[in-house]
């Protein structure tokens, strides 16, 4: 008999769990099932020290199939992508990439993404980079443009419309 | 002379101009010609949270553009370096995913013709330690702390620039440039650079803690190789100080700027003016000079 989450009264979502495992297999990362909860990831986690992200718990929930519960929780957005958990895992599990996949599901299903992320995405689709060219501040308080410093124009995709279409398509689909 | 395509990525091409200037000035000293290739976009690194699929696509299209020109890539930004290397290795190990990406590349009129090498300035400088030693004009003579940045050290399944837990290259480069540099406990800690999108206060806290650690241990300055850390630790150092409630006043400078200065390049052309923290060189003298001027005026 499956375990029931007593907060949400939900059963585990086995289909979502296999989506995550299949994607991990596709990108050659160990499945979440291999985690044996040694908590080495959490003891080195940079975000643990600051915002109490506990990667071993994320993996435990994913392993049990409670993906909806994770998707709706703000804690998944506190990872600072230092890759220490992936580096140090004795089982080659990758909590950082499990978190990425859960957040990716949020975007695909049209849920809200926090902070600047949607801005970044729009700017990438509009001009190729996460932000537009900005004047830089100098030590004496004046501002200078790229061209004032003898730098060539910043690169950008040549056919912006085609680029935008393909990037949009890539962003809106899961790998499996 | 080796030709490399300079891949500036988002931060170098839109705000961290000092790093780009110093890379452009310094690389020819090591017999490297940098080529500007049109058509590059974001590497996808900052938006992994939104879509890994998109990250792989963005990285692979930049690799395809460089391959079309027959060039390997120089990626001065750590985040770009990881993202490009990762996409290359992941797609190499996953033919199914590669097929999907090839279809998308075709839609943009690009072709996948095999991977290219992705190089970081740190590796180039380390390969040329002798060149730095032989051309030393201004030995640095300061005690400097290193900030490697997470993404050139991890994760080691991919080929990274240095050892993941005990890196040595940056210290060796600084010693070759006449500076003193020893490892300190916090040196592989994260700077919080990728937090800026949604956890700005935490980003400033992490960066502030890093600067504070170097300051507390008595270093004259903090040297980094990543624009994500630099924009916080240098550009917003006073905001970092306010966030952690400490007094911070430490020079933060790019490794390429330090090495360029040691090899006799003009500080102005290396973008020293664009560093907003306390100057590493000549700062004390100019303060004294300013004090003297004030005294004279009185």
**Using one digit for the tens of pLDDT, what is the confidence trace for B231-288?**
999 999 999 999 999 999 999 999 999 999 999 999 999 999 999 999 998 755 544 5
DSSP class of residue B263 equals: T
Range of the domain at B53: 2-119
Is residue B276 in some structural domain? yes
CA distance B107 to chain A (A): 7
The confidence score (pLDDT) of residue B101 equals 94
Q: Do residue A29 and residue A89 come from a single domain? A: yes
Domain boundary among the residues B77, B92, B119 is at B119
* Res. B290 pLDDT band, cuts 50 70 90: low
Is residue A173 in some structural domain? yes
Residue B5: pLDDT over 90: yes
* Res. A4 pLDDT band, cuts 50 70 90: confident
Mean pLDDT of B151-160: 93
ipTM for this model? 0.95
Residue B9: pLDDT over 90: yes
Is residue A176 in some structural domain? yes
Is residue A161 in some structural domain? yes
> To the nearest whole number, what is the mean pLDDT of chain B?
93
Of residues A119 and B282, which shows the higher confidence score? A119
CB contact under 8 A, A159 and B108: yes
Is residue B296 in some structural domain? no
The confidence score (pLDDT) of residue B297 equals 55
CATH of the domain at A90: 1.10.1060.10
Q: Do residue A125 and residue A166 come from a single domain? A: yes
pLDDT in tens, A70-91: 998 999 999 999 999 999 999 9
* Res. B292 pLDDT band, cuts 50 70 90: low
* Res. A9 pLDDT band, cuts 50 70 90: confident
In total, chain A counts a number of residues equal to: 176
* Res. A8 pLDDT band, cuts 50 70 90: confident
The whole-angstrom separation of Cα A135 and Cα A144 is 5
CB contact under 8 A, B51 and A159: no
Residue A57 neighbours by CB under 8 Å, 6+ apart: A42
CATH of the domain at B85: 1.20.1050.140
Domain boundary among the residues B69, B93, B119 is at B119
DSSP codes, A81-148: ---HHHHH-TT---HHHHHHHHHHHHHHTT----TTHHHHHHHHHHHSSSS---PEEPTTS-EE-TGG
CA distance A121 to chain B (A): 7
CB contact under 8 A, A155 and B36: yes
Q: Do residue A69 and residue A123 come from a single domain? A: no
Q: Do residue A30 and residue A100 come from a single domain? A: yes
pLDDT in tens, A100-116: 999 999 999 999 999 99
Q: Do residue A83 and residue A125 come from a single domain? A: no
Range of the domain at A67: 14-108
Q: Which of B4, B15, B6, B87 is nearest to B44 (CA)?
A: B87
Q: Which of B78, B69, B167 is nearest to B116 (CA)?
A: B69
List residues bridging with B145 in a β-sheet: B222
Residue B10: CB atoms within 10 Å: 26
**Region of B261 on the Ramachandran plot (φ > 0 left; ψ -120 to 50 alpha; else beta):** alpha
pLDDT in tens, A153-167: 999 999 999 999 999
CA distance A154 to chain B (A): 5
CATH of the domain at B191: 3.40.50.11810
Phi, psi angles (nearest 5°) of residue B184:
-130, 160
Domain boundary among the residues B73, B91, B119 is at B119
Residue B130 neighbours by CB under 8 Å, 6+ apart: none
Residue B141 neighbours by CB under 8 Å, 6+ apart: B178, B179, B180
Distances in Å between the Cα of A7 and the Cα atoms of A3, A4, A17, A66 are: 12, 9, 19, 12
Partners of A51 on chain B (C-beta within 8 Å) are 199, 202
> In terms of C-beta density within 10 A (0-12 exposed, 13-18 middle, 19 or more buried), how is residue B285 classed?
exposed
Partners of A172 on chain B (C-beta within 8 Å) are 51
- In chain B, the number of structural domains is 2
Q: Do residue B94 and residue B237 come from a single domain? A: no
Is residue B128 in some structural domain? no
Residue B296: pLDDT over 60: no
Closest chain A residue to B23, measured at CA: A151
CB contact under 8 A, B18 and A101: no
Is residue B255 in some structural domain? yes
Identify which of A86, A136, A163 has the shortest CB distance to residue B17. Answer: A136
Q: Do residue A73 and residue A50 come from a single domain? A: yes
Partners of A116 on chain B (C-beta within 8 Å) are 196-198
Percent of chain B at pLDDT exceeding 90: 91
In contact, B17 and B231? CB cutoff 8 Å: no
Q: Where are the beta strands (DSSP E) in chain B?
A: 2-6, 32-35, 72-74, 118-119, 144-147, 221-224, 252-254
Q: Do residue B275 and residue B145 come from a single domain? A: yes
Q: Do residue B278 and residue B143 come from a single domain? A: yes
Q: Which token pair is B246?
A: 């400490």
Percent of chain A at pLDDT exceeding 70: 99
Q: Do residue B113 and residue B145 come from a single domain? A: no
Is residue A5 in some structural domain? no
Q: Do residue B80 and residue B145 come from a single domain? A: no
Percent of chain B at pLDDT exceeding 70: 95
Identify which of B41, B46, B202 has the shortest CB distance to residue A128. Answer: B41
Mean pLDDT of B67-87: 96
CA distance B13 to chain A (A): 5
In contact, B158 and B86? CB cutoff 8 Å: yes
Identify which of B15, B53, B150 has the shortest CB distance to residue A136. Answer: B15
Is residue A136 in some structural domain? no
The confidence score (pLDDT) of residue A5 equals 77
The confidence score (pLDDT) of residue A1 equals 60
The confidence score (pLDDT) of residue B231 equals 94
């Amino acid at each position: 008999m499956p375990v029931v989450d007593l907060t949400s009264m939900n059963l585990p979502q086995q289909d979502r769990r296999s989506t995550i495992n299949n994607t991990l297999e596709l990108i050659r990362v160990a499945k979440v099932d291999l985690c044996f909860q040694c908590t080495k990831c959490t003891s080195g986690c940079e975000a643990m020290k600051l915002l109490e992200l506990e990667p071993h718990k994320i993996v435990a929930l994913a392993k049990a199939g409670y993906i909806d519960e994770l998707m709706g929780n703000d804690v998944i957005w506190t990872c600072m992508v230092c890759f220490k958990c992936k580096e140090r895992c004795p089982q080659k599990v990758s909590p950082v990439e499990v978190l990425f996949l859960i957040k990716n599901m949020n975007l695909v299903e049209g849920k809200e993404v926090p902070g600047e992320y949607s801005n970044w995405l729009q700017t990438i689709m509009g001009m190729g980079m996460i932000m537009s060219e900005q004047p830089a501040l100098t030590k004496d308080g004046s501002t200078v443009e790229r061209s004032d410093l003898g730098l060539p124009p910043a690169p950008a995709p040549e056919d912006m419309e085609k680029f935008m279409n393909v990037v949009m398509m890539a962003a809106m689909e899961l790998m499996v | 002379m080796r030709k490399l395509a300079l891949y500036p990525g988002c931060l170098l091409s839109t705000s961290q101009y000092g790093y780009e200037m110093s890379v452009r000035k310094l690389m020819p000293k090591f017999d490297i010609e940098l080529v500007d290739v049109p058509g590059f976009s974001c590497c996808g690194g900052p938006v992994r949270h939104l879509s890994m699929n998109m990250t792989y696509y963005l990285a692979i299209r930049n690799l395809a553009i460089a391959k079309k020109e027959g060039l390997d890539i120089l990626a001065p930004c750590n985040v770009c370096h990881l993202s490009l290397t990762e996409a290359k290795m992941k797609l190499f190990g996953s033919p199914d995913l590669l097929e999907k990406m090839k279809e998308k590349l075709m839609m943009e009129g690009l072709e996948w013709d095999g991977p290219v090498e992705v190089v970081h300035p740190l590796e180039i400088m380390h390969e040329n330690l002798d060149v730095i030693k032989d051309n030393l004009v201004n030995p640095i003579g300061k005690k400097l702390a290193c900030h490697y940045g997470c993404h050139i050290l991890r994760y080691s399944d991919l080929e990274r620039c240095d050892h993941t837990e005990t890196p040595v290259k940056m210290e060796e480069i600084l010693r070759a440039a006449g500076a003193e540099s020893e490892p300190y406990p916090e040196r592989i800690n994260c700077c919080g650079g990728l937090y800026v999108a949604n956890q700005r206060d935490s980003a400033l806290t992490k960066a502030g803690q890093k600067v504070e650690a170097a300051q507390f241990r008595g270093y004259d300055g903090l040297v980094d190789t990543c624009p994500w850390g630099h924009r916080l630790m240098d550009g917003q150092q006073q905001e970092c100080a306010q966030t952690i409630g400490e007094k911070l006043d430490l020079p933060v400078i790019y490794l390429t700027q330090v090495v360029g200065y040691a090899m006799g390049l003009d500080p102005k052309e290396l973008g020293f003016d664009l560093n907003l923290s306390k100057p590493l060189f000549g700062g004390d003298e100019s303060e004294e000079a300013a004090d003297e001027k004030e005294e004279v005026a009185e």
